[in-house]
A and B are shown apart, each in its own frame.
Chain A
Amino acid sequence: MIGFVFLAVIALAAIGIYAAMFKRNLIKIVVGINIIASAANLFLVSLGYREGGIAPIFTGAESLNMVLATPQALTLTSIVINLAVTALMLSFAIMIYRHYGSLDALKRRLKE
């Protein structure tokens, strides 16, 4: 059962990398990075899953033998960080659109 989750992670990461590498529209590149981030979050959460585990919430817990909440904490942090990165990338995309009048990655001026 858990194997399917990892297959989904790989598929999501592949889609995201494809979008980030081959799409010319800057917004699509940002979306691609977001998909990779979702894959990473899914991966972390699925690592923390234990069959029949007890959630680490002390109020009304059945026993004190709970699962470690580290992966969940990591995922929350990673979601917050990715939100900041996405917001910054989108604001850059807006400024690029204002400067060049286009979101096409190939219509760029900085050249070798």
Chain B
Amino acid sequence: MILENAPALAIGIPLFAAFAVFFFGKLGKRAMKVWVVAGLLAAEVFIIWLAMDALSGISHFYAVGAQVPGIISQAGFPVRVVLVVDAVSALVALVAMSLCLLAGLFSLRFFEKKEGGEKFYSLLLLLAAGITGLSFTGDFFTMFVFLEVISISSAGLIVFFREGEGFEAGFKYLVLLAIGALFLLFGVGIFYGKYGLLNIGAIASLVGVNASFIDFTAVALIASALLLKCGSFPVHMWKPDVYQKASGIVSAVLVASGLVGIYALFRVLFLMLANTPLSAMVGWVIAILGVFSIFVGVTMALKQTSLKRLVGYAAVAETGFVLLAFGTGLAAVTSMDIFSFRAVIGGMFQLVNDGLDLGLLFLLIAAVGFVTKKKRIGEISGLAHKSPVLAVLFLIGMFAISGMPPFNGFASKIIIYESVYMASPVFSIVGILGSVMLLAIFVKVFVAIFLGPPYKGKVEVLPKSMLLVMCIFAFFILLLGLFPKQAIEGVFLPAAKALINSQAYIGGIL
């Protein structure tokens, strides 16, 4: 009974927990922390259960408020909001929710002395609900609602520690995402006006047969909003600002919301354009945007002096790799050959690796700030003498993000290079150069922070909860890096199939 409603509960539990946090906050800090962790953990358990089901081939189509998804109105179209949990949406929700849970665990010690913990956790839980909702939704209007839930709660988190300029970053983020979401609403309105439908799968089944200029306009409006959300090249400018000014914990959660944005973008594009002649052109446009994101990300990261801003630009480059891989796959979706299919698998793998690598690096920055109590990373050097664990973890994150063997970044990027090379050698070469430059940038950072004469200032002991969370990240980075074959066969292959196979998605809803 409970498991039947798992897709709704995975969204509902964090949503309820977000508002109940204030009640538990009155009971004391310990009660509140237990409540927050319990809420995130419960949602995580439901998502793990759903993901195991979905990856073994059982997709769930959950109609909100009805027994079966295929409730048909008099005019002959589905009226219910449908939540779709197939291999790809479950995987993305799992990664994003895990990031929220781990960031939540990591932040527990931050509010030992600070006030306002319940507000922070309320926003965090709201963001978790929005992230799960955006990955499960099978309905365009619900997509708009969850996109706005994510924008509002993450804007609140960005400015949470009230460091003056943080408000500027938060304002920029909110303005851009609000305009983006309204563009999405215009696109949804166009689809509703033409088909009288909001259900993504039902619209896709009609678009595939006789696509017109109106349909492509709507797809372009929706895709532009989602590209803005995931921070690709021409609209990447909010990303470094936000990642520089937000706390490291918040940045780790924002990475999760970015992953879900990429997923939503490609779910819409693969569903809507699979049977139309435009898929090749749109695919190439996305791949070119990805290449530019890689190029701009690494070149701008080279000249940064602030570490958080540097990692922010590295995040733009990492998004570029996913866009490059999925774009190449989309370009060849009508005649799926082995290389394009491998590009999609590489993109799936890279999507998960982005979350792991960037999440670890942002949490490490937060941990370095916590043990040294310094606001500016530039004042720290020679930390490896005092805190070798942090140095080792930073090395793992740095090698993983720049695609060095035996870490996970290598496993995914090598698939992307070899498959993209078959489609366009130049793109592949830009990608390889991008990763090499990323390594050079991070070696510079590592030398500056961790090497040199021993750190003079006081260093606090790293709390066990923070260490545990970062070790979990490092464990999964190594696990995916050492056993890529098993990971691809067990997880990424079914996910890539589910992303490409629009017929299964449409068939489940109708």
A47 CA to B187 CA, complexed, in Å: 13
Query: Are A70 and B192 in contact (CB-based, < 8 A)?
Result: yes
Query: Are A26 and B171 in contact (CB-based, < 8 A)?
Result: yes
Q: Which residues of B contact A77 (CB under 8 A)?
A: 141, 145
A36 CA to B184 CA, complexed, in Å: 12
CB of A74 closer than 8 Å to a CB of B: yes
User: How many whole Å from B238's CB to the nearest CB in chain A?
Assistant: 10
CB of B155 closer than 8 Å to a CB of A: yes
Query: Are B189 and A99 in contact (CB-based, < 8 A)?
Result: no
Band of interface residues on B: 35 or more
CB-nearest residue of chain A relative to B172?
Answer: A110
Task: Tell whether A33 pairs with B171 under 8 Å between CB atoms, given A47-B193, A88-B156.
Answer: no
A40 CA to B174 CA, complexed, in Å: 18
A95's partner among B148, B167, B188 (CB-CB below 8 A) is: B167
Query: Are B167 and A71 in contact (CB-based, < 8 A)?
Result: no
Q: Which residues of A contact B432 (CB under 8 A)?
A: none
Query: Are B174 and A85 in contact (CB-based, < 8 A)?
Result: yes
Q: Which residues of B contact A71 (CB under 8 A)?
A: 192
CB of B216 closer than 8 Å to a CB of A: no
User: How many whole Å from A68's CB to the nearest CB in chain B?
Assistant: 8
A2 CA to B431 CA, complexed, in Å: 50
A62 CA to B244 CA, complexed, in Å: 61
Q: Which residues of A contact B262 (CB under 8 A)?
A: none
Task: Tell whether A85 pairs with B148 under 8 Å between CB atoms, given A36-B182, A110-B244, A112-B300.
Answer: yes
Within 8 A of A (CB), among B136-190: 141, 144-145, 148, 151-152, 155-156, 159, 162, 164-165, 167-172, 174-175, 178-179, 182, 185-186, 188-189
CB of B342 closer than 8 Å to a CB of A: no
Query: Are A85 and B178 in contact (CB-based, < 8 A)?
Result: yes
Within 8 A of B (CB), among A22-42: 26, 29-30, 33, 36-37, 40
Query: Are B175 and A96 in contact (CB-based, < 8 A)?
Result: no
A13 CA to B186 CA, complexed, in Å: 10
Within 8 A of B (CB), among A57-112: 68, 70-71, 74, 77-78, 81-82, 84-85, 88-89, 92-93, 95-96, 99-100, 108-110, 112
Q: Say whether chain A's binding surface is mostly helix, strand, loop, or mixed.
A: helix
A78 CA to B174 CA, complexed, in Å: 16
CB of B18 closer than 8 Å to a CB of A: no
CB of B245 closer than 8 Å to a CB of A: yes
Query: Are B152 and A40 in contact (CB-based, < 8 A)?
Result: no
Query: Are A40 and B193 in contact (CB-based, < 8 A)?
Result: no
Q: Which residues of A contact B300 (CB under 8 A)?
A: 112
A108 CA to B238 CA, complexed, in Å: 14
CB of B198 closer than 8 Å to a CB of A: yes
User: How many whole Å from B243's CB to the nearest CB in chain A?
Assistant: 11
Query: Are B159 and A95 in contact (CB-based, < 8 A)?
Result: yes
Query: Are B174 and A92 in contact (CB-based, < 8 A)?
Result: yes
Query: Are A96 and B189 in contact (CB-based, < 8 A)?
Result: no
Within 8 A of A (CB), among B235-291: 241, 244-245
A96 CA to B174 CA, complexed, in Å: 14
Task: Tell whether A78 pairs with B167 under 8 Å between CB atoms, given A71-B192, A85-B152.
Answer: no
B175's partner among A29, A47, A74, A99 (CB-CB below 8 A) is: A29
21 contacts between A and B (CB under 8 A): A26-B171, A29-B175, A33-B175, A33-B182, A37-B182, A44-B189, A47-B189, A68-B73, A70-B192, A74-B192, A81-B145, A84-B148, A84-B152, A88-B156, A89-B171, A89-B178, A92-B170, A95-B159, A96-B171, A99-B167, A110-B168
Q: Which 7 residue pairs of A and B lie closest in terms of their CB atoms, listed nearest first?
A: A92-B171, A95-B167, A99-B164, A47-B193, A40-B185, A81-B148, A43-B189
| 8 extra A-B contacts, CB within 8 A, seeds A89-B175, A110-B172, A112-B300 | A37-B182, A44-B185, A47-B193, A82-B178, A92-B155, A92-B167, A96-B167, A110-B165
